[in-house]
Structure 1
Amino acid sequence: MAVLGHCERLSQWPGLLQDSPLLHDFSPAEADLLGSLMLHVKARPGEMMIAEGDATDWMMLLLRGTVDVGKRIGPEADREVRGDNTRLAVLRPGAVLGEMSMFDGEPRYASCWALSEVEAAVLDRGAVARLIKAHPEVGAKLLVKLTQLLAQRLRNTSSQLVKVLRRQQLA
């Protein structure tokens, strides 16, 4: 991925404040403050943006393009080859990816590839700590929104698991 600088004017991305679950309750000034701590990156179609198993401490906010999220299934799966992975999701602008590893420092759960030309804003754990120290109200808002997103994903995953288990019981 190519680094293009910082996201100084995050609020200026068309529809981002309205469409992103992360930024929905942020004022333009708060979004711009957050963006000043984020790196603006660009990926080409087919480029791996996050590699399953890597230990990194950052997350991304998708600004433009679509991203394929996949998980290796089975011992023979190759993390570098998209065809060897099971698709978990296709993410669109406004989506957040990689937040679990930013929080807990554990290896990446899945891989992400750019399906089209992608631009994203990258936020690392150190920047979150600086935000909390310098602007606690914005830092708290960010943490609450990320916690809400994680809780929603957990609910969705649990619901999918229950559906699979019900189908197995009926079979």
Structure 2
Amino acid sequence: MSSMFESPDLAPEEVAARLLVTPSALDDLTLADAMTVVTYMRPKRIPAGTVVIKEGEVKHNDYMLLILEGDISVESELLGGDSEALVVNVIGPGHLIGEMGLLDGSPRSARCTADTDVAAAVLSRTALMRLLRDHPRTGSRLLLAISKRMADRLRETTRKLRSFAQMNKALQEELQIVMNNRTLSEARASRERNKAP
């Protein structure tokens, strides 16, 4: 399989910039902005099976990755610790991971594992700070685009949470009906036993 980076038509930086402005990444950036941002990123090759980001990791988590080639599974631990993980999403070229860590350096919220060999571009917080110093408008537009992306995901999560809360309420009401019917049945059976001579 040939790599998109072997294309004679586009330089690797242009490929990365074009992926950065896709809807799955930061489509609010212009291609010119993306070309500038890419100059502050560094390439990274990740072998299949590598845990790229560990859920709960508190060190070395101030960066984000733009996936250029390959697929990464995003997983969340169901109960914490060594419990089974739930695959939340499988993402590929043009997707970002680690934006929250880039901005705030907080512990990672999910585990990301390379399903295939992956080519990525990494933007560290240090590089982001240089970008903001050297190109404040582009850096500001990048931060705004990342913030918008995170706000969109928060809205979607809130919508899902509301839906789960409605399902939970309906299940609780159904369970209450079942429990009430069971209590009535047991009371009738008890009265019948007490009537018997």
Counterpart for residue 54 of structure 1:
57
Any conservation in 2 of the 1:9–1:36 contact (CA below 8 Å)? no
Q: Computing the radius of gyration over CA atoms, which structure comes out larger, 1 or 2?
A: 2
Counterpart for residue 43 of structure 2:
40
Aligned pairs, number? 159
Aligned equivalents of 1:112 and 1:103: distance in 2? Answer: 18
Aligned equivalents of 1:23 and 1:159: distance in 2? Answer: 22
Any conservation in 1 of the 2:73–2:89 contact (CA below 8 Å)? yes
- Find the partner of 1:31 among 20, 34, 39: 34
Q: CA deviation at 1:152?
A: 0.7
Aligned equivalents of 2:71 and 2:29: distance in 1? Answer: 23
Any conservation in 2 of the 1:22–1:145 contact (CA below 8 Å)? no
Q: CA deviation at 1:140?
A: 0.9
Counterpart for residue 183 of structure 2:
none
Could you list the structure 1 runs, at least 4 aligned residues long, displaced by more than 6 angstroms after superposition: none
TM-score (norm 2): 0.73
Aligned equivalents of 2:156 and 2:96: distance in 1? Answer: 15
- Specify every segment of 5 or more residues in structure 2 that has no aligned partner in the other structure, as ranges: 1-10, 172-197
Quote the RMSD (CA, aligned, Å). 2.1
Aligned equivalents of 1:52 and 1:17: distance in 2? Answer: 24
Any conservation in 1 of the 2:26–2:146 contact (CA below 8 Å)? no
Specify whether residues 21 and 136 from structure 1 end up closer, same or farther in structure 2 by C-alpha distance, changes over 3 A only: farther
1:114 paired to 2:151 = no
Q: CA deviation at 1:20?
A: 4.4
Aligned equivalents of 1:17 and 1:74: distance in 2? Answer: 34
Q: CA deviation at 1:87?
A: 1.5
- Specify every segment of 5 or more residues in structure 1 that has no aligned partner in the other structure, as ranges: 1-7, 79-83
1:63 paired to 2:68 = yes
Aligned equivalents of 1:155 and 1:97: distance in 2? Answer: 18
Q: Cα deviations across residues 21-66 of structure 1 (Å, max 9, x unaligned)? A: 4443444443222112111111122211111111211111111111
Any conservation in 2 of the 1:48–1:114 contact (CA below 8 Å)? yes
User: Larger RCO: Structure 1 or Structure 2 (Cα < 8 Å, ≥ 6 residues apart)?
Assistant: 1
